[in-house]
Amino acid sequence: MAFSLSPSNSFNASAASVDKFGKQRQLGSLKIGSSQLILATRLEPHFIKFGLRKKETSTVSASSKESYGLIRKLEDNEKHRLHENECGQDPFEELKCRFLNFKKKNFVENRVHYENLAEAQAPKFMVISCADSRVCPSRVLGFQPGEAFTVRNIANLVPKFQHGASETSAALEFAVNSLEVANVLVVGHSRCGGIRALMSMEDEGDSRSFIRDWVSIAKSARLSTQAAAGNMSFEKQCTHCEKESINGSLLNLLTYPWIEKRVTEGTLSLHGGYYDFVNCTFEKWTLVYKEGLEGGSKYAIKNRSFWS
């Protein structure tokens, strides 16, 4: 179904109603014809952090010991039931087992936190990482549910604003304008098949390839890699391009007017990360964007750190 933004079909990201007492507030809504679809609500971070909303604090203090006893009994019963599940050989039996273990060890133990998450999300991070199965940002960086709004694509690329709609630009729009994340982190990685495809593709290749079209977003990273590391082995060129393309994505983020505005205002920071899963190391840096930097440039890298 075709859908376009028009006076009757519109996205309103600024319809936020802030409640000073920390109650939910609506952050964005989508109007389709006469219907209003609320996209998200958000809790004040203070109350998310401590796993309680103000309202719940008073509710809990008013509860009787009897209520606590009943809740404890129900949770014990649930844990006992979950404990009875055994892992099978079937791949989905394995997933079922993992899910029930998550429920027992994480969800049930942190029920209030998950009840809050069911109402709203307020992540501080948006993460853009590769779809590669070996690169799982939640696993590697320990993000818990609710902490990172994540999009994964081939070679963790960010297309320019002018590229138009993509799943990545849609995710950015929601994370930045509605969720108001404070940080966007682009995570690249070692032995990236997408970057290898970019570095090895023929100039006149199969134009019907989705992969070819997608990785061409990082053509400038390929060109700068060939200029800077063209005399190195193909493997080393790929490693160079894996990092070069992250910086290309960071610069592409600034082509989105609402991202550029927030970075200039200081309410949003852009970061690069590189996960080397051969040696298990992680490199992290931050992009500085402002006028009057050394050498007349508007861009610089700061806070580079290496975790090993």
Which residue ranges make up the annotated binding site for Zn(2+)?
130, 132, 189, 192
Please tell me whether residue 130 binds Zn ion under the rule CB under 5 A.
yes
Query: Which one, 130 or 241, has the nearer CB to Zn ion?
Result: 130
In the complex, the smallest distance separating the C-beta of residue 129 from Zn ion, rounded to whole angstroms, is: 8
Which one of 33-41, 158-166, 184-192, 208-216 is the stretch in contact with Zn ion (CB under 5 A)?
A: 184-192
In the complex, the smallest distance separating the C-beta of residue 265 from Zn ion, rounded to whole angstroms, is: 32
Q: Tell me which residues are annotated as active site.
A: 130, 132, 134, 189, 192
Distance CA(160)–CA(259), nearest Å, equals 12
In the complex, the smallest distance separating the C-beta of residue 122 from Zn ion, rounded to whole angstroms, is: 29
Which one of 115-123, 191-199, 263-271, 278-286 is the stretch in contact with Zn ion (CB under 5 A)?
A: 191-199
Which one of 36-44, 56-64, 123-131, 266-274 is the stretch in contact with Zn ion (CB under 5 A)?
A: 123-131
**For Zn ion, which residue of 132, 137, 176, 241 counts as binding (CB under 5 A)?**
132
Please tell me whether residue 242 binds Zn ion under the rule CB under 5 A.
no
Q: Are 155 and 249 in contact (CB under 8 A)?
A: no
Question: Binding pattern to Zn ion, positions 15-54, x when CB under 5 A?
Answer: ----------------------------------------
Q: Which residues in this chain contact Zn ion in the complex, by CB under 5 A?
A: 130, 132, 192, 194
